């Protein structure tokens, strides 16, 4: 379904690959503003890749649905009578009307508000007013069911969908680093996602919001005022000299504080109860021993931020997820999902929501700082001279060693750096340059080893 063959006239493979130079860290500012690039992203990244849809706890019963997006294609994620999760394009096959207008709910079927066509939960067209009278029986309902995602799969209860039938399995797409990132959410036990997704639009390109999650350089400076309120102790979280960056195939990454190997070896020798007790005196929730099964031996040492390429951020301790949905080259809609333990009390859930809304989202102490910087970075990169200057992502370049972890991917133990951002943009150029999955599989970079 993803049409990767329509290349905007000015963006052939060579031009795309030149947008980021991994050897110098120079990034072309046009990637945040150019309409041709934006359209290519919708085709070659969002329609081609696996996109996070929802968590299984959001649609437990037959008829439960949740509205999401694949790029700018709106989709209905719905559980049908057989328990199967379908991802249906939310556009009527008659005249294109959006079928489902609520953000989530329960339905027996989806009836179009324009002329009344009725679709089953699996997308089949089951009712057409005037079939005999106006169409005079000359109509084949079987040809006009809702368009569906090519593949829908889940990992640890997180559902993803792709529009491209040639995409690899979700397991292979995520690779060790992507699976480790989702494992971070599930590491403490069964979780649910609470109703009420916080949504807001920021005037910035979606990639600026994404690359910021690897950016631990800005934390003490941008968020100085948030820190001074005492609501968060950023100095305790930051650990500038104990950073662990993980780079995964197809652009996944995890960046931020890490547990040094020697310390992890000590943790491995103590029980879960003692770990829980120790967690009370740190901003990190030390994970139970079983987390290693979900996150791998390297992943379990990460206390940072995973990004499942292209746009799913998992926050510290896996307590929130954030989708950065593109709304044109110059706007991004942020969707904040709050995660709580399945067995949490009503009071614990209220506290989780309170903490989530105070940190991120439009009223969050941290995101008010971030959003302003992202929007101004997008705007101030747009002028005809400004956009020729390039962005600088050279921090740490050539000063660190990437080693292949026992779990695959690459791991870099370092201080604060821009390795995560460089890997994101290098992978992004490769996704954009490849004309289809076969091309991407053959021509993308493996996570680096040696000097990075």
DSSP string, 212-235: GGG--SSHHHHTHHHHHTTS--HH
Cα separation, 359 vs 295, in Å, equals 26
Task: Compare residues 81 and 116 and give the one whose CB is closer to ligand FES.
Answer: 116
Residue 259 CB neighbour total at 10 angstroms: 20
* Rounded distance between C-alpha atoms, residue 370 and residue 360, angstroms: 10
CB of 81 vs ligand FES, minimal distance in Å: 23
Spatial CB neighbours of 59, under 8 Å, sequence gap ≥ 6: 65, 66, 77, 78, 79, 85
Residue nearest to Fe ion (CB): 370
- Binding of residue 92 to ligand FES (CB under 6 A): yes
Tokens of 277: 């007790």
Residues contacting residue 431 through CB under 8 Å, at least 6 positions apart: 44, 45, 48, 49, 250, 251, 310, 440, 444
Query: Minimal distance in Å, beta carbon 100 to ligand FES?
Result: 12
- DSSP state, residue 386: G
Residues 367-386 that bind Fe ion (CB under 5 A): 370
Which one of ligand FES, Fe ion, none interacts with residue 94, CB within 5 to 8 A by kind? ligand FES
Q: How many chain residues bind ligand FES (CB under 6 A)?
A: 9
- Tell me: does residue 117 bind ligand FES (CB under 6 A): yes
Which residue number, 110 or 214, has a Cβ lying nearer to ligand FES? 110
186 binds, among Fe ion, ligand FES, none (CB under 5 to 8 A by kind): none
- The residue from 39, 57, 62, 97 that contacts ligand FES (CB under 6 A) is 97
Q: How far apart are CA 68 and CA 75, in angstroms?
A: 5
Instruction: Decide if residue 95 touches ligand FES (CB under 6 A).
Output: yes
83 or 96: CB nearest ligand FES: 96
323 binds ligand FES (CB under 6 A): no
E strand intervals along 101-206:
104-106, 110-111, 118-119, 125-127, 151-155, 158-162, 191-193, 198-202
Is 358 one of the binding residues for ligand FES (CB under 6 A)? no
For residues 251 and 420, give the distance between their C-alpha atoms in angstroms, rounded to a whole number. Answer: 9
Q: Which stretch, 115-123, 166-174, 237-245, 350-358, contacts ligand FES (CB under 6 A)?
A: 115-123
User: From the list 8, 13, 115, 382, which residue makes contact with ligand FES (rule: CB under 6 A)?
Assistant: 115
- 231 contact, one of Fe ion, ligand FES, none, CB 5-8 Å limit per kind: none
By beta-carbon proximity to Fe ion, the closer residue of 160 and 335 is: 335
- Is residue 83 classed exposed, middle or buried when 0-12, 13-18 and 19+ CB atoms within 10 A define those classes? exposed
3-class DSSP state of 8 = coil
Task: List contacts with ligand FES (CB under 6 A).
Answer: 92, 94-95, 97, 112, 114-117
Chain contacts with Fe ion (rule: CB under 5 A): 370
């Amino acid at each position: 379904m993803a049409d990767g063959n329509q290349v905007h006239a000015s963006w052939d493979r060579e031009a795309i690959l030149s947008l980021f130079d991994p050897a110098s860290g120079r990034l072309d500012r046009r990637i945040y503003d150019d309409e041709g690039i934006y359209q290519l992203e919708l085709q070659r990244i969002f329609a081609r890749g696996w996109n996070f849809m929802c968590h299984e706890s959001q649609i437990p019963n037959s008829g439960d649905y949740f509205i999401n997006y694949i790029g700018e294609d709106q989709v209905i994620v719905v559980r049908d009578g057989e328990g199967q999760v379908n991802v249906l394009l939310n556009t009527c096959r008659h005249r294109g009307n959006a079928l489902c207008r609520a953000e989530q709910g329960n339905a027996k079927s989806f009836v179009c508000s324009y002329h009344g066509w009725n679709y089953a939960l699996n997308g089949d067209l089951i009712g057409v007013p005037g079939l005999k009278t106006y169409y005079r029986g000359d109509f084949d309902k079987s040809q006009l069911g809702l368009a569906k995602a090519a593949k829908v799969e889940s990992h640890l209860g997180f559902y993803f969908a792709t529009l491209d039938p040639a995409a690899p399995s979700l397991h292979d797409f995520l690779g060790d680093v992507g699976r480790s990132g989702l494992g971070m959410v599930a590491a403490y036990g069964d979780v649910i996602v609470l109703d009420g997704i916080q949504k807001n639009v920021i005037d910035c390109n979606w990639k600026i919001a994404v690359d910021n999650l690897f950016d631990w350089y800005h934390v003490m400076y941008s968020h100085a005022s948030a820190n001074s309120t005492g609501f968060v102790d950023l100095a305790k979280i930051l650990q500038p000299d104990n950073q662990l960056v993980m780079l995964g195939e197809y652009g996944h990454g995890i960046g931020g504080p890490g547990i040094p190997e020697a310390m992890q070896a000590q943790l491995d020798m103590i029980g879960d109860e003692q770990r829980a007790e120790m967690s009370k005196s740190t901003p990190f929730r030390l994970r139970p021993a079983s987390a290693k099964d979900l996150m791998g031996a390297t992943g379990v040492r990460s206390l940072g931020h995973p990004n499942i390429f292209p746009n799913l951020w998992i926050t510290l301790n896996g307590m929130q997820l954030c989708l950065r949905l593109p709304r044109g080259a110059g706007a991004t809609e942020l969707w904040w999902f709050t995660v709580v333990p399945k067995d949490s009390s009503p009071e614990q859930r209220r506290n989780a929501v309170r903490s989530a809304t105070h940190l991120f989202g439009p009223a969050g102490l941290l995101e008010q700082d971030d959003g302003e910087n992202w929007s101004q970075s997008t705007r101030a990169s747009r002028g005809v001279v400004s956009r020729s200057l390039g962005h600088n992502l050279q921090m740490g370049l050539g000063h660190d060693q990437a080693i292949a972890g026992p779990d695959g991917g690459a791991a870099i133990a370092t201080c604060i750096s821009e390795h995560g951002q460089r890997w994101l943009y290098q992978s992004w150029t490769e996704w954009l340059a490849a004309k289809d999955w076969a091309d991407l599989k053959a021509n993308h970079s493996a996570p680096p080893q040696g000097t990075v």
